[in-house]
A and B are shown apart, each in its own frame.
Chain A
Amino acid sequence: MTQDTAPRAGSAISLRGFVKRFGPITAVDGLDLDVPYGTCVGLLGPNGAGKSTTMKALTAQVIPDGGELEVLGYRLPDDSKQARAEMGVVPQLDNLDVSLTVEQNLLVFAHLYRVPAAGRKAAVERALEIAILTDRRHAKVSELSGGMRRRLLIARALLHQPRLVLLDEPTVGLDPQVRQGLWALIDAMRSEGVSILMSTHYIEEAERLCDEVTIMSHGRAVAVGPPRQLIADHAGREALEVYGPPPRLAEVERHARERGWATRRTGTSVSILHSNGTAELDGVRRVTNLEDVFVLLTGEEIS
């Protein structure tokens, strides 16, 4: 094995050439992915890029057609149960038991996650604190707001103090201020040394929380690296945003193409990446961001 294909020592998650097909569709097409211990890695990609399939494979709810998958040093799918005992999973779809109270939900999962009887009560208390729901412990889940439910879902995954947490679109469908509360929660988790893999299509989320991101498109990793590095490599330091009517925008795009500059449409404007202070065109200079990289590499606009 070459250095490149060997599983990285000290990785909480290591995928090599992961392939998954559903009938004629190849959902994941040879994905390599690493989550070094103690880091937060973001999995970015448009819908259908294979993020969810990858997340499901990590809990052996998807069985790979090819490749090597290791989680916390356990080979998947054979030793997945052991890996699952040591990791927490926050699903994209809320699957709390709605007719139960907050505390009952946590108690049930303390059993499912095998928290020893002596530590169960303390684990539930700690989770209640993490979710900031200590004074709502007797409330039924159906009475909670969307943000509270999401906090409870996250706290539920932390009951057994896992070394690794998978977050599948942790803030999808939430208000901006609620989202920021959850970011604080995830950030606190990371600073305690928990390894995190987070799939998201909120670029800002990845930019803020992740040490490294993998951008997926059509079942493959198209870029891997720290967000700043990816921005610098693919979009340059600055972008020039040119506004105008459609014919003008088409002209700008042609001009940029001749110069070999990458562009992206942003609704009413064209952004020229790698512009780095060019004075050839009139426009608004702005700092590049991860969204530029995402759109450039996946060819898809953010919904």
Chain B
Amino acid sequence: MAVAPVRRRLHRLEPTALRGVMVREVVNFSSFWRSSTFSSTVDPTIYLLAFGFGFGSLVSTVAGYDYIDFVGTGIVATTVLFAGAFPAMYSTFVKYEFQHTYDAILAAPVDTEELVTGEALWIAARVGVYGTVPMLVAMIFGLNPSWGMLLVPLIAAIAGFGWASFGIFIAAKSEKIESFSYWQSGLLTPMFLVAGTFFPLTALPEWAQVLGNLNPLYHCVQLVREAVFGVWGWAAVGHLAFLVGFGLIGWRLAIRFMERKLIL
């Protein structure tokens, strides 16, 4: 009979494994950070300038704010979407389908749960940084600095984790990269518009306001405005709870569907 080997069960979500996954991401990022930073920050900045100047010439105040203040804070949510969900969707799909990266990682002592978590955390960290860029641009155009702005990277990172996870989930659900179109046009674009970024939800019909309240981007926008303008209230707790809940659900969904895809 074989001598029973010493059972040294490794645990779930080990820091060593998460770090390994993130090191891979960071080292790879060093080779494409220019293009990634460009698309993640320039797009929202263009929206900011287009709406700020275009729409801003028609309206001076929205919901009690100067329009540049309104859109300069709301734009953080746009960055969260552009720097969180989209890179997660595309990089996950490319790594799975074309580069076979996950085969290599899962052959090392890393489980799917750690793989997904490490990648989502890394994107969340990036979103935390990128999220502030359009806001900094808005400051050039008149958004006043405030201490509450220091919380914006944290808020962006929390929302970014949810969107990164959701993006990984979309990639795991998609057999073809063309399927992304359905998600983008059918879900992400409407959410991007009905988030209270460019106009307040109160301008919309009631059913759209109800849907808006289910939109994580809306809660991100609200939380950012409350932080930047220092108008804290109990509502902030609700917004934060919604974002954390969205992150947790997205995270578990991403793991579950990636496991289905990667483990046969």
A: residues with CB less than 8 A from B are 6-10, 22, 56, 59-63, 72-74, 79, 81-82, 84-85, 89, 91, 93-95, 97-100, 104, 107-109, 111-114
Contacts and interface: CB of A to CB of B under 8 A. Distances in A.
B264 interface: yes
Given A9-B2, A10-B2, A22 B264 contact: yes
Interface string B14-33: 00110111011001100110
B54 interface: no
Contacts of B7: 79
A129 B27 CA distance: 22
A89 B104 CA distance: 8
B20 A114 contact: yes
Contacts of B210: none
A97 B99 contact: yes
Contacts of B109: 81-82, 84-85, 112-114
Contacts of A7: 2
A201 B100 CA distance: 22
Contact of B99 (A6, A82, A95): A95
A79 to B, nearest CB: 6
Nearest to A77: B263
B108 A109 contact: yes
B106 interface: yes
9 contacts: A61-B103, A72-B5, A73-B4, A79-B7, A82-B9, A94-B100, A95-B104, A97-B28, A97-B99
A93 B100 contact: yes
A193 B101 CA distance: 29
Closest 3 pairs between A and B when the two form their complex, measured CB to CB: A73-B5, A89-B107, A85-B109
Contact of B9 (A6, A79, A113): A79
Nearest to A109: B108
B3 interface: yes
Nearest to B32: A99
Given A112-B105, A113-B20, A113-B109, 14 more contacts: A22-B264, A60-B106, A61-B262, A61-B264, A62-B263, A73-B5, A81-B109, A91-B103, A93-B100, A98-B99, A99-B31, A107-B23, A109-B104, A114-B109
A209 to B, nearest CB: 21
Contacts, number: 100
Contacts of A98: 99
B8 interface: yes
A59 B106 contact: yes
Nearest to A90: B107
A84 B8 CA distance: 13
B187 interface: no
A243 B101 CA distance: 49
Contact of A81 (B10, B23, B105, B264): B10
A61 B20 contact: no
A99 B107 CA distance: 21
Contact of B1 (A6, A82, A94, A109): A6
B5 A108 contact: no
Contacts of A108: 20, 23-24, 27
Given A82-B10, A84-B109, A114-B16, A91 B24 contact: no
A173 to B, nearest CB: 15
B110 interface: yes
A284 to B, nearest CB: 45
A120 to B, nearest CB: 11
Contacts of A59: 106-107
Contacts of A79: 7, 9
Contacts of B16: 114
